[in-house]
Amino acid sequence: MASNKNPYIPELVTITNIIEETPNIKSFQVVFNDPERMKTFKFEPGQVGQLSVFGVGESTFVINSPPTRMEYLQFSVMKAGEVTGALHELFPGDQMGLRAPLGNWFPYDMMKGKKILFIGGGIGLAPLRTLILYMLDNRGDYKDITIIYGARTPPDLCYKEDLKEWEARSDVNLILTVDTEYPGWDKRTGFVPTVLNEVAPSPDDTIAITCGPPIMIKFVLQNLAKLNFKDEDIITTLEARMKCGIGICGRCNLGSQYICKDGPVFSLAQLRDFPGVV
């Protein structure tokens, strides 16, 4: 964010489209009220924004559309608390506030020329989506792309349109799973960490990127270690309660690092410095 600007003042955006991803997750596509701003706005895959419902408050979400597709910015919201509840009440045409971009991003440059393994669970696919789409838009820069994605049940899988498209592509290896048997589901069942073990991808020349519920991340990291992935080749993106978004207000810290500013993207090697996190 530019230093001459008041970092607390949101810019106004308007919802252009809302997609009901799952029974409790909606994706909001927004554009800046100022059409010029839509052209100058820059961000990197993995960066987050604070969405405001004025009168209710702000909450942090990753921009899950890629910087290569700038018709709109997309945010996916799982209904959980006050702000997400209010967001779910909105309609296309409604206004919101947006403070973005905040935080760091996926080190996609250092991933060039490598094989990429995405491991996501539930709404944890959101931050991965921005990078997956970015990579697909720059497909030649990366080798094999494998995506292991799971949710509790088939209706809980996000981005069903994307999944269909990825499944159809020959240059993407998509592995879907749901926790247990479900009527009409003919793909894998089982938890994501277990499926990871079954797939047993090779760590050679591969970067693993994971995001999901804390418990999933915990076991995915353990299993990646068992598969001999190096800590510096494992990347995750973290979530925490955030307020200021600029590394001051104090609640999202891991030791001296603030998830909102120094994160949310960390390598496992970095996280090893913070006992109790992984």
Partner 1 sequence: MADTGFIPKEKWGAFIEGLAAKAQVWVPCLDGDVVIFKPYSKDQTLCFERPANSPPKGVIFPQSDTLFAFNFSKDPENPQKVMVELEEKLDFPKTIIFGSRPCDAKGFLIYDRPYMQTDTPDPYYKGRREQTAIVTMSCQSTYAGCFCTAVGGGPADKEGSDVLITELDNGYFIEAITDKGKEILQQAAAESGAGHEAEALKKQEAVRARVKDPFCANGKPEISKDLFESDEFWEEELSKCVSCGACTYLCPTCYCFNITDETTFEKGERIRSWDGCMYNHFTLEASGHNPRPTKFQRFKNRVGHKFLFYPEKYNGVIACCGCGRCIRFCPMSVDISEIVSKLQKQTGSASNGK
**Across the chain, how many H-helices and E-strands are there?**
7, 15
Tokens 């206004």 map to which residue?
95
Is the Cβ of residue 82 or residue 171 nearer to partner 1 in the bound state? 82
Is the Cβ of residue 188 or residue 243 nearer to partner 1 in the bound state? 243
Q: What's the gap between Cα 98 and its chain centre?
A: 17
Helix 214-226 / helix 192-199 crossing angle, nearest 10 deg: 20
Minimum Å gap between C-beta 132 and partner 1 is: 24
Q: 3-state class of 266 per DSSP?
A: strand
Is the Cβ of residue 46 or residue 247 nearer to partner 1 in the bound state? 247
Minimum Å gap between C-beta 97 and partner 1 is: 8
Minimum Å gap between C-beta 59 and partner 1 is: 7
Is the Cβ of residue 120 or residue 245 nearer to partner 1 in the bound state? 245
Minimum Å gap between C-beta 152 and partner 1 is: 15
Is the Cβ of residue 170 or residue 256 nearer to partner 1 in the bound state? 256
Binding positions for partner 1, rule: CB under 8 A: 1, 3, 6-10, 12, 52, 54-59, 80-84, 93-95, 97, 214, 239-241, 243-244, 246-253, 255-256, 275-276
Is the Cβ of residue 183 or residue 275 nearer to partner 1 in the bound state? 275
Minimum Å gap between C-beta 62 and partner 1 is: 15
Minimum Å gap between C-beta 228 and partner 1 is: 27
Question: What does the block give as tokens for 100?
Answer: 């973005």
How many C-beta atoms surround the C-beta of residue 9 within 10 A? 9
Beta strands in the chain (DSSP E): 11-22, 25-32, 48-53, 57-62, 73-78, 95-102, 115-121, 145-151, 172-178, 188-189, 206-211, 234-237, 253-254, 257-258, 265-267
46 and 130 in contact (C-beta within 8 Å)?
yes
- Give the alpha-carbon dihedral of 57, 62, 67, 73, to 10 degrees: -40
